Structure 1
Amino acid sequence: MRHSLPLAPQFYVTAPQSCPYLPGRMERKLFTSLQGDEAQLLNDSLSKQGFRRSQNVLYRPSCAECSACLSARIRVADFKPSRTQRRVLKRNAHLSRRANAPWATEDQYALFRRYLDSRHADGGMADMDIFEFAAMIEETPIRSRVVEYAATDANDGSSDLAAVCLTDVLDDGLSMVYSFFDPDLAGDSLGTFAILDHVEIAREAGLPYVYLGYWVPGSPKMGYKAKFDALEVYADRRWQTLTSPEAFSAKTQPLSTDPIAEQVARIDLPDTMNGRD
């Protein structure tokens, strides 16, 4: 009988392209595929090192002259909502939560299209059709959930979808992969509400963190993440409490990013992928 050891993942770098967060800068990503029996283990391990999942790919920024993008997560046990965030919770208390298997629906896609057309009409997802949307939701080799928030009509029992979040379940937390909401309800701060509710889900499940993706100092799109209490960012190969957002600069620095070979060499892989017992 032949036995094969799991192969160590191979890492690649994308070609430079315009940065979607900071004007005048270029971005590139370090990435690897996420597949096979070790997918969940790899996702758990690399998420702790600043990587994010997109379908069956794990990636993190690897820009030649910029290190502004910082992976961010909330420390659930220490989190306390601000007065403004408590108002957001109260404003959306009528919404019901449904956590389902990662299966795309027409209602989700209709909401997704309205969200993109209103807020990101010129973004990278602007031309995404229903089949590509279904792939984004359903092509996941790990434990994922689609969390829906809906308002139910007391008269006829019908419900209107208000917000959706694709969420990965990690061994140490919840990772909010992608969220979208009804643009007509922008005043209800549904994006903030979804994060606050995920903190509650994680607390109920005994999970210590909620991963929010990247915080980018200097980017108006990402500034809201710094408003959450007990926030940590991954910088200099370790998680640091974000006590002062001003302490992290978005300035370019030609020597801020190590060569790719050094970056890959310092990635900690699960023991089974290193050939260790």
Structure 2
Amino acid sequence: MAASDLAILADVKTWLAGSSGIGSTDDALLSRLITDVSGAITAYLGRPSLTPRTLTERLDGNGRMRLFLSHYPVLQISSLAIDNVAIPAAAPPATGAPHPLGYLLEPWDGLPPGRPQALDLFELSFRRGRQNVVAAYSAGYAVEGEGATVPGAPGPYNVSVGAPFGPWASDAGVTYADGVALTAVAGTPDAGQYNVSSGVYGFAAADAGTVVLLSYGFIPAAINNACIEWVAERYRYRTRIGQSAQTVAGQQTASYSLKDIPDFIRASLDPYRSVVVG
């Protein structure tokens, strides 16, 4: 499975199974189709990644007090500079009080598909210039701080993510309820450590009964389903290459779409296409 895949082989095979089932003969073919279709979807959406990643972006100053970053949903701004001058973050003011000097990001509501978020300046402006605004930030679909309790003895001490908006795709860290971070390990965890595979987090017996907060990237369900269905469509297409219709026993005619992207796939993806805001 490639890191950029938007679906897993088991889900595609479940979709294809029907009443006749599907074996493992074509696993390599289906895996290749998943990777190919995932790339096509990413290109169509105009997004380099759907899961959280760190980005550094240079933008043209517009002389105004607001601009929009290219990638969303934005999770956090690490730094902002204008004409090589660092700009501080401005905490939201108390009710009725003026905004303090600095920048403030419009928060994401946590729900996909999301939209471009405003980055506002107070007592300043994005001075006009070519690539004179540099923003470092993290963006991508993520659940942050999902609460869970590590099971008690005798174990196993595993927690599965809730994944309310789509399947787990990447780990973004675990903390205790007080904010102290746990360390990710590949092997068996000790106290204060965890491991993770496919959305299942494993902990040490020493942490049994402890409340933890899980953060992770996810693939929005609509995109995940679109990938599964498009792969299935391409897989079935090989038995009817170039056919737009087929008559069975001279009585029943089946019609097939030959569009580059099936309409039902496009309808699922369009709300997630990257939108450029001036």
Superposed pair shares fold, TM > 0.5: no
Between structures 1 and 2, the one with greater strand share: 2
Structure that is richer in helix per residue: 1
- What range describes the TM-score normalised by the shorter chain of this pair? under 0.3
Instruction: Using structure 1 for the length normalisation, give the TM-score.
Output: 0.26
Greater CA radius of gyration, 1 or 2? 2
Higher relative contact order by CA 8 Å / sep ≥ 6: 1 or 2?
1
